[in-house]
Chains A and B, each alone.
Chain A
Amino acid sequence: MFTSLAKRLTLGVGAAMVAGTIACGSGPATAQTVITYADWQLAQDIWGRSLREAFAEFEKQNPGIKINVEPVALAQRDIKFATAIRAGAGPDVFALDANPVKQYIAEGWVKDLTPFVDKEGGKKFLSDFYPRSLEPVTENGKVYGIPKNIVAMVMVYNEVMFKEAGITKVPETWDEFRVAMKKLTKATTAGGPIDQWGWTIVAAQAGFDLRSSVILRGFGADFLTPDWKKSALDTPQAKEAFKFIVDTIHEDKTMPPGVAQVDANAARRLLANKKTAVKIGTTWSLPEVSGMNPALDGWNVLKMAHIPQKKLDDKSVRSTLYQKSLFMNPNTKNPEAAWKLIKFMSDPPQMAKWFDDNLMLSARQSVNVSHKPITSSPYALTVAQEINRSAFLPLIPKWPEILETFRRNLQDAIAKSKTPDEALTNAHNQINAILARP
């Protein structure tokens, strides 16, 4: 009886496996190589469309390779990638911004691309990329990723709202900025409650790094010492920057209430709906904000300016660099096909397309100086100028923990649980403790 049951089970399972194999379409009939590409920008309309168009072109040029796309939410990106790669799986090719790259390299979650780069010409191949763009993706002389885009954070503002508020000069110092924000904060209906504010910072986690760091840097401060070994939050400039944020919220009230919950998307939405007139952003803000509210006429109304400073004659770093790079999974079964895709995506034509579609500057110098839409764009000009006054956030594995410690303490100061000085001292001590850990 048991033997017969086992036979039946074996036959059933076997039949199911055969059926499954046929249904999946695998087998010798199809010789196509399938690789997976994961990117948080796939989850957003405008960027996602642009990427899919690029993949269609790649598949046309490489008929033997098919790309499966895997959109991933930005907040879930590292969890998903880290878990999958640890388990021996994960996408063949994926995109990362600069922040977590050093952790990925330290953990062995990205493949060393040096042999592929060498085949393409080594140093000659890399010479077209901005030297700074190679910093996040290089470790001990090995190249782990290929830079795609690099931009600096700037001030994005609504020119019409500025004019309506009587602001004729774009603020260049924080004092001018503060005055302008007060002028912009008002009730749009006579006798009604205040329903328009000057600006907002991003105090929630998503997007905090790029947007809040520029205030610190604009005051001449920074998170860490230049060697990234100690906290630099005990400087008078850091105290001034920290107090500036808190004062604009509580004293000037030039930010909408609920700033602790404002993330990058919420800040865009506020600008799109004319609830605020200014945000910290960069070239991507234009398509994103315009897409959220076409009635705003963002492409004509929104302008870009440099990050304000404490003193005009200060020539030090005042903004933060953002970079998107492409990486290969060490578990990939198709490294050659994966490299083809990375190279295709970072070749000049695709870099140019990425600007045409999304206003994102290329990490290749040749594209930025020769692609007409870039050279004739005032936005690109502002951002390119700001790149020279920008720096990456610390490229160390402990950076995400340091950033979160700073953010939590800033939230405490915003919530008045601590005074700005207490919160900053707390952040300083906690960050030093993190850095002192082995």
Chain B
Amino acid sequence: MTKTHDIGDVSNDGTGTMRDNYKGYLFILPALLMLVVILGFPALAAFLQSFNLMWVAKPGFSLGAYRALVDDAEFLHSLFNTVVFVVVVVSSHLVVGLSIALLLNMDIKFKWMWRVVAILPWTMPDVIGGLVWRFMFDTLPGIVNSVLLRTHLTTEPVDWLGQPGLAFFAVILAESWRGYPYVMLILLAGLQSIPRQQYEAAELDGCSALQKFMYVTMPNLKHMFIISLVLDTVWESRLFGMVYSMTGGGPGYSSQILTLLSYKQYFQFFNVSYGAAMAVVLATVLFFISLPYLRLSMRQQI
């Protein structure tokens, strides 16, 4: 007797027939095409542009853009700023995100409301967030100076965004606030998946709260921590809107990060090869940073 197959029909070994597999590919084809067009094409275009091969006034293979990067003090300074920015912001996200995730995981009243409140900064687009913080730090009408002056903590308005150290600090503070909910959500999901029996067993063994945190919570959160760390590092490394709208990378070059420099070279100075080369370098570094996450995800799938 011949067995016929329809959509969704799989053979007994669960592998399905060849025809079913083709149908599966057909269904994911639109999404795949969208990915190729939306992500793949710009990536390929940037790669080709960095070698002066596409969308340039005089095309011709050249490594000039990459060679120039090595001697460019502004590029190296922006790279350094990016590393400092990412390390400080991601660290603050992990500390604040974990702290608030722990609070929201406790049995508290109106838990749903606190969760909504905690996630609010994440709902704000980074450009808008940057503008809001810029107004807050504005020298004359800004609320930060207003509070400082009224409480007599300072006698003159502080030029928050006009002083190099303060401007960089202000940007870091603003992004620490805006981005922590992402980490918090991942860690909260991790906390909720820890079996209660482990805590009960620890309590039976007479563990203190700190010991339960160190020996039950933290080991169970290890994978989620790695995921948060990697994803947030990638996310913050490619941040643009918050810094652009708050300081534009200034004063001088003090808060300029790589994405801003790449944007400037590409869109303001029309040095497309050079701007693209910076983007390719950043993307390559981020690819290697994301390897632990990819390995972890693939291992879980297997």
Which A residues are closer than 8 A to B by beta carbons?
1-2, 78-79, 82, 86, 103, 106-108, 193, 204-205, 256-261, 275, 397-398, 400-401, 404, 408-409, 411-412, 414-415, 417-418
- Give chain B residues whose Cβ lies under 8 Å from the Cβ of A79: 267
Contact: B161 with A260, CB < 8 Å? yes
Contact of B162 among A106, A107, A400, A414 (CB under 8 A): A414
Min CB distance A286 to B, Å, is 24
From 213 to 261 in chain B, residues with beta carbon under 8 angstroms from any chain A beta carbon are 248, 250-254
User: Which partner residue on chain B sits nearest A80 by CB separation?
Assistant: B267
- Give chain A residues whose Cβ lies under 8 Å from the Cβ of B57: 106-108
Contacts A86-B55, A417-B254: A103 and B163 contacting too (C-beta < 8 A)?
no
Contacts A86-B55, A103-B270: A257 and B162 contacting too (C-beta < 8 A)?
yes
- A257 CA / B156 CA spacing, docked (Å): 9
Contact: B269 with A256, CB < 8 Å? no
- Give chain B residues whose Cβ lies under 8 Å from the Cβ of A408: 250, 252-253
Min CB distance A215 to B, Å, is 18
Contacts A103-B270, A107-B57: A258 and B23 contacting too (C-beta < 8 A)?
no
Contact: B251 with A414, CB < 8 Å? yes
Contact of A2 among B23, B264, B268, B270 (CB under 8 A): B23
- Give chain B residues whose Cβ lies under 8 Å from the Cβ of A414: 162, 251
14 A-B pairs, CB-CB below 8 angstroms?
Answer: A78-B267, A82-B270, A106-B57, A257-B139, A258-B138, A258-B140, A258-B161, A260-B162, A261-B161, A401-B268, A404-B269, A408-B253, A411-B250, A417-B254
- Give chain A residues whose Cβ lies under 8 Å from the Cβ of B250: 204, 260, 408, 411
The yes or no answer to B157 lying at the interface (CB within 8 A) is yes
The yes or no answer to B106 lying at the interface (CB within 8 A) is no
- A79 CA / B55 CA spacing, docked (Å): 14
- Give chain A residues whose Cβ lies under 8 Å from the Cβ of B138: 258, 261
The yes or no answer to B200 lying at the interface (CB within 8 A) is no
Min CB distance A405 to B, Å, is 9
Min CB distance A197 to B, Å, is 10
Contact: B7 with A1, CB < 8 Å? yes
Contact: A411 with B251, CB < 8 Å? yes
User: Which partner residue on chain B sits nearest A410 by CB separation?
Assistant: B252
User: Which partner residue on chain B sits nearest A423 by CB separation?
Assistant: B252
- A411 CA / B267 CA spacing, docked (Å): 22
Min CB distance A157 to B, Å, is 21
Contact: A258 with B267, CB < 8 Å? no
- A417 CA / B254 CA spacing, docked (Å): 9
The yes or no answer to B190 lying at the interface (CB within 8 A) is no
- Give chain A residues whose Cβ lies under 8 Å from the Cβ of B267: 78-79, 82
* Sample of 8 further A-B pairs with CB below 8 A, known A257-B162, A415-B163: A1-B7, A257-B157, A257-B159, A275-B140, A400-B269, A404-B268, A411-B250, A415-B251
Contact: A260 with B140, CB < 8 Å? no
Contact of A401 among B55, B156, B251, B269 (CB under 8 A): B269
B interface majority secondary structure: loop
Q: Mark B173-205, 1 if CB is under 8 A from A, else 0.
A: 000000000000000000000000000000000
Contacts A256-B139, A258-B140, A415-B162: A404 and B264 contacting too (C-beta < 8 A)?
yes
The yes or no answer to B107 lying at the interface (CB within 8 A) is no
- Give chain A residues whose Cβ lies under 8 Å from the Cβ of B254: 415, 417
- A287 CA / B6 CA spacing, docked (Å): 72
Min CB distance B267 to A, Å, is 4
Across the A-B interface, how many residue pairs have beta carbons closer than 8 Å? 79
Min CB distance A214 to B, Å, is 22
User: Which partner residue on chain B sits nearest A106 by CB separation?
Assistant: B57
Contacts A2-B23, A411-B250, A415-B163: A261 and B270 contacting too (C-beta < 8 A)?
no
- Give chain B residues whose Cβ lies under 8 Å from the Cβ of A397: 270
- Give chain A residues whose Cβ lies under 8 Å from the Cβ of B23: 2
- A181 CA / B156 CA spacing, docked (Å): 20
Min CB distance A156 to B, Å, is 20
- Give chain A residues whose Cβ lies under 8 Å from the Cβ of B290: none
Min CB distance A416 to B, Å, is 8
Closest 8 CB pairs of A and B: A258-B139, A412-B252, A260-B162, A411-B251, A401-B269, A415-B251, A79-B267, A260-B251
Contacts A205-B248, A417-B164: A256 and B140 contacting too (C-beta < 8 A)?
yes
Min CB distance A251 to B, Å, is 16
- Give chain B residues whose Cβ lies under 8 Å from the Cβ of A400: 268-270
From 268 to 300 in chain B, residues with beta carbon under 8 angstroms from any chain A beta carbon are 268-271
Min CB distance B53 to A, Å, is 14
- A1 CA / B20 CA spacing, docked (Å): 12
Contact: B252 with A411, CB < 8 Å? yes
Q: Mark B148-164, 1 if CB is under 8 A from A, else 0.
A: 00000000110101111
- A2 CA / B25 CA spacing, docked (Å): 14
User: Which partner residue on chain A sits nearest B19 by CB separation?
Assistant: A2
- A107 CA / B161 CA spacing, docked (Å): 36
Contacts A412-B252, A415-B164, A417-B254: A260 and B159 contacting too (C-beta < 8 A)?
yes
Min CB distance B136 to A, Å, is 13
- Give chain B residues whose Cβ lies under 8 Å from the Cβ of A411: 250-252
- A1 CA / B6 CA spacing, docked (Å): 8
- A324 CA / B253 CA spacing, docked (Å): 31
- A86 CA / B267 CA spacing, docked (Å): 12
- Give chain B residues whose Cβ lies under 8 Å from the Cβ of A412: 251-253
Contacts A258-B157, A404-B269: A409 and B162 contacting too (C-beta < 8 A)?
no
Min CB distance A414 to B, Å, is 7
- Give chain B residues whose Cβ lies under 8 Å from the Cβ of A107: 57, 270
- A15 CA / B161 CA spacing, docked (Å): 56
User: Which partner residue on chain B sits nearest A405 by CB separation?
Assistant: B74
- A409 CA / B139 CA spacing, docked (Å): 21
- Give chain A residues whose Cβ lies under 8 Å from the Cβ of B140: 256-258, 275
From 46 to 74 in chain B, residues with beta carbon under 8 angstroms from any chain A beta carbon are 55, 57
User: Which partner residue on chain A sits nearest B162 by CB separation?
Assistant: A260
- A82 CA / B275 CA spacing, docked (Å): 14
- Give chain A residues whose Cβ lies under 8 Å from the Cβ of B157: 257-258
Query: Which of B7, B251, B270: most chain A Cβ within 10 A?
Result: B251
- Give chain A residues whose Cβ lies under 8 Å from the Cβ of B251: 260, 411-412, 414-415, 417
- A260 CA / B161 CA spacing, docked (Å): 8
Query: Which of A108, A259, A260, A412: most chain B Cβ within 10 A?
Result: A260
- A259 CA / B251 CA spacing, docked (Å): 10
- Give chain A residues whose Cβ lies under 8 Å from the Cβ of B156: 193, 257
User: Which partner residue on chain B sits nearest A408 by CB separation?
Assistant: B252
Contact: A259 with B55, CB < 8 Å? no
- A260 CA / B7 CA spacing, docked (Å): 64
Contact: A259 with B162, CB < 8 Å? yes
User: Which partner residue on chain B sits nearest A402 by CB separation?
Assistant: B269
